[in-house]
Amino acid sequence: MGDLSNTGIIFDFDGVLNNSTRSGMNYHIEVAKKASLNPPTKKILKLLWGMKWEELLNELAIWFNWPEGGVNRFKAAYNENYESHRYLSFKDIKKILEQLRGIPMTIASSRDIKSMLQKMEEIGLNPEQFLCICSHSSSQFLKPDPRALEMAIDALLAKLVTRERIIFIGDTVNYDLAAAKNARLTFIGVSSGASTIKDFLAAGVSREYILSDRVDYPARLPKILAEMGKK
């Protein structure tokens, strides 16, 4: 691997470490139907995916004309079936994280810390591999506000990582890429169900810094980082 001294990584969680985007969208559609609500379309879910969950539901209620109390009906149906809803990890993600051991790593997600730790346990990720796990529970700010990344950035800077060598890996244009740009960080995009390769390209991400979960993610991640280390 190239010279990755003074390099640090910020991972988004859902769609990057947790293979949850496509199945999560399908689950929201299924739950809306069970709650006898107008089901959201994938087009709108992709547009909103990455928001804080409460805000996402309020937006869906507006977009799809849910009646008064519809959000609470959705939550009840969601929680009723939640325990049977399981995500899978990305193939080889644990092996890839082991290969990256020695590079300071953090997580910055809009998910709450309780459910994130629960999902990490389900997919077999060790929280101790990460310097810090930053959720909306630990910050009043949400992506794309760059302040949502401050805790993760500060943790990396404390490990003598230089800011220009911090790499943020995310799966959405409107939230992750926007936050990376606002924080002046290098960005790697993962097309895993929310933003497509075309979306990232249209937003100005170089093709060499875009990965597809159906083709080359996470196996190609170390190779991209190695190339970055040569620059």
Q: Which two tokens stand for residue 132?
A: 């810090």
Structure tokens at 110: 């809009």
**HEC string for the chain:** CCCCCCCEEEECCECCCEECHHHHHHHHHHHHHHCCCCCCCHHHHHHHCCCCHHHHHHHHHHHCCCCCCHHHHHHHHHHHHHCCCCCEECCCHHHHHHHCCCCCEEEECCCCHHHHHHHHHHHCCCHHHCCCEECCCCCCCCCCCHHHHHHHHHHHHCCCCCHHHEEEEECCHHHHHHHHHHHCCEEEEEECCCCCHHHHHHCCCCHHHEEECCCCCCCCHHHHHHHHHCC
d(CA 134, CA 13): 10
Beta-strand relationship, 88-89 and 18-19 = antiparallel
Task: Name which residue leads in pLDDT, 225 or 49.
Answer: 49
CB 140 within 8 A of CB 159: no
User: Quick one: pLDDT at residue 2?
Assistant: 55
pLDDT tens-digit series, residues 57-114: 999 999 999 999 999 999 999 998 777 777 777 888 888 898 888 899 999 999 889 9
Q: Name beta bridge partners: 9.
A: 105, 167
Q: What is the pLDDT of residues 168-214, one digit of tens each?
A: 999 999 999 999 999 999 999 999 989 999 999 999 999 999 999 87
Mean pLDDT for all residues in the chain: 91
Dist CA 40 CA 189 (whole Å): 25
Does pLDDT of 48 surpass 90?
A: yes
Going along the chain from its start, the domains and CATH numbers come out as 8-19+88-229 (3.40.50.1000), 22-82 (no CATH)
Look up residue 127 and give its two tokens: 């929280």
pTM of the entire structure? 0.91
Taking only the tens place, the pLDDT of each residue in 124-178 is: 899 999 999 999 878 889 999 999 999 999 999 999 899 999 999 999 999 999 9
